[in-house]
Structure 1
Amino acid sequence: MHAEGIERVSSDDGTELSTAWLIRAGKSGEREDFNLEHGLASMGWGHIPDLRELSGRDELKRMMQSAAPNAREKSISTWANQLWTLFDRVRVGDLVVLPRKATSQIAFGIVTQEYRYNNDPEPDWRHVVQVDWRRTDVPRTAVRQDLLYSLGSSLTICTITRNDGKWRLHQLLKTGADPGARATPASIRDTDTDVVDIDSDTTDSAESAIDLERIGKDRIQSHIAENLAGHELSRLVAEILRAEGFTVDTAPPGPDGGIDVFAGRGPLGLDSPRLIVQVKSSPAPVDVKVVRELNGVLSSQDADQGLLVAWGGVNQPARREMRSQFFRVRVWDADDLLEAVFRNYDQLDKELQAELPLKRMWTLVED
């Protein structure tokens, strides 16, 4: 299917919306901070010259084949199509979505300048488009599961259209919340697909290269949000700390004075490190005020360290504040909490395991 058949999506006032691009910042998010700080969306392949100097996509494929002679032909075609898409199809005014690896949040921006070759010594950000990053801390928990599935593509760049994805991403840019698909025939077509690029020999789509680990985490997070919200999330955190060797006391439901869990080492919980834990189950990012309040409680309770469990993560000012408190305060966002669940799952209370039934599985790592 050609992209022209699925990208004509209108806003509520009838104006046509710009294309919504998912553009990642490296397999491990290694380009995230640089891109956000410098207003860029970038791709690798630093040894490839300015794409404007090439005769076309076929020449790009030949150069990639020379650089990776043992790669499969399909992989070369996919890589070339993705880099060429950044050059040939991303336009001023388009929406760019960046699922962040380091913070479990999603950044949204608008393209302000089309492809250019950045003459930078660092090869990871030579092929770039300029982006005005307008939101950088939308939590994944603010996005509904069907749209997260599309954002779970492992492709570096692709369009998002399925389940009214383009309109919903534009709404997320405006409001920070996912309203879900509109109940119109155009938004529920089974033929919608997430196209990366089309030529005569490939029809790669976002759904053909799914990041299974990310999809699995998103589904577990959705289950926790629905079944272990509020005080129940504090109970989960307490059980994790107990499994990690702490003696734990959990505050009862209701006003807690800024402390949801007390935790300390030793049989009575009196030994160091002595922790106080504040748990925020809201999908919205926590602001700097909460971090400062936690620091104040640390001093008044004679605790060694503080743990802020922020289901929706923290915003940028709060993150800067926490850097100045590196040896006193830590934050767990939804992803960090999941990692703690995974490493302690076998030691969790059986009743809690029944409320959060998980099973390990193996899957093939695709190229």
Structure 2
Amino acid sequence: MVTEARAWVVRGGRNGESDQRFLADNLVGIGFDTFGDLTPVTSREEMKARAVKALPDAKEASAFNYAAQAWAFRGRIEAGDLVVVPLKNSPHIAIGRIVGDYQYVEEGLGNVHHTRAVEWLRTDIPRTVIGKDLLYSIGAFSTVVQVQRNDAAYRLGVLAASEDAEDPGERSGFVPKRGAASASADEADLEDAATESGFDIDAYVSDRITARIRERFDGHRLSQLVGAILEAEGFVVQVSPPGADGGVDILAGRGLFGMDSPRVVVQVKSEPKAVSDTVVAQLHGAVTRNSADQGLLVAMGGVTKPAEHQLVGQKFRIAVWDAARLQRAIFENYEALPADVKADLPLRRAWVLAE
């Protein structure tokens, strides 16, 4: 049964440095070390005063930005609320439920000084099963932000409730709930903070490209795209026709006839969900049957935990490309890809200063 609650994003640092601590210690937290213990703070106005004192060199707007986030973490998040952590160095997001009150850790847990206890519901939700609008909502660079647009809390609850869940999208007739005037003022402060902090451009661009691949290269067409990438890498490629393939979507090899090593069997899964250990076992069998050297599993949604465990010890036997790794292969070989692929996936290289 899916229950609705408010939903919050709490980031584990700009580079995801606290993500694994969150998961291992069943908590979320923020740094804000100069703010001190926030237990005595009982209103957003008090938090603004605390922020101005804690950040003497910051402009008032910037101090209020931090105050809005700190007050949300200390005073607005409640037990039972959902919390989302976009795992920075992973193609997944984690969703949990807040189960504890605010706690101050003076000595710090790494960079974290302010914590809330969490019961993790799912920690391996592929970004590929989440709608573009919802991914955009959770993409703010703010450390703490409430996500409300597009029926976000309901949709995140659905995703957290089952390993097979996909984003159901916004419900027909959805109307956002609004609280009392003070709550609305808090929400406005937090929205201003999120707007000022900007968005995770890398994740946003990656999500847009993944969505385009899913739209234009679904089903058998994804096998053709992977085949084109392997041809650009110098392989001789045979792509199986649509239909039952016995676990073999592509055969690839080196040499004039594609019979020289490395000989690779490729299985391609375009669905957004993570694929199971059954698929891994099927590919392993196909590698053996075809006297191949290696297997490549292209799975847009990645693989499940049992599949990951099955892959342990097979690093030199079976490789996995999820959506992010597939993108990297596309970037590396884009100039050599066929014109029809480029027409459906138009990309432009851009270098920007990372600040």
Fold match (TM-score > 0.5)? yes
Query: RMSD of the alignment, in Å?
Result: 3.2
- Equivalenced residues, count: 344
Structure 1 residue 73 displacement after superposition = 5.4
Q: Distance in 2 between matches of 1:276 and 1:196?
A: 58
Other-structure match for 2:310:
321
Amino acid at match of 2:148: T
Q: How does 1:1-367 map to 2 (within 5 A)?
A: 17-45=4-32, 49-52=36-39, 57=47, 58-65=49-56, 74-118=61-105, 122-175=109-162, 176-184=165-173, 186=175, 203-205=192-194, 209-361=198-350
Given that 1:137 and 1:314 are in contact with CA atoms closer than 8 Å, whether structure 2 keeps it comes out as no
Given that 1:105 and 1:313 are in contact with CA atoms closer than 8 Å, whether structure 2 keeps it comes out as no
Structure 1 residue 48 displacement after superposition = 5.9
Given that 1:44 and 1:125 are in contact with CA atoms closer than 8 Å, whether structure 2 keeps it comes out as yes
3-state SS in 2 of match to 1:331:
strand
Amino acid at match of 2:103: R
Given that 1:107 and 1:133 are in contact with CA atoms closer than 8 Å, whether structure 2 keeps it comes out as yes
Amino acid at match of 1:51: L
Amino acid at match of 1:320: H
Q: Distance in 2 between matches of 1:136 and 1:305?
A: 30
Amino acid at match of 1:82: Q
Given that 2:141 and 2:194 are in contact with CA atoms closer than 8 Å, whether structure 1 keeps it comes out as no
Amino acid at match of 1:343: E
Change (3 A) 1:293 1:119: farther
Structure 1 residue 350 displacement after superposition = 0.9
Q: Distance in 2 between matches of 1:196 and 1:285?
A: 40
Change (3 A) 1:27 1:246: farther
Deviates more, 1:108-117 or 1:299-308: 299-308
Q: Distance in 2 between matches of 1:92 and 1:215?
A: 30
Amino acid at match of 1:40: L
Structure 2: segments with no counterpart, 5+ residues: 179-183
Percent identity of the aligned residues? 41
Change (3 A) 1:201 1:23: closer
Structure 1 residue 74 displacement after superposition = 4.3
Structure 1: segments with no counterpart, 5+ residues: 1-10, 190-194
Q: Which TM-score applies when normalising by structure 1?
A: 0.82
3-state SS in 2 of match to 1:203:
helix
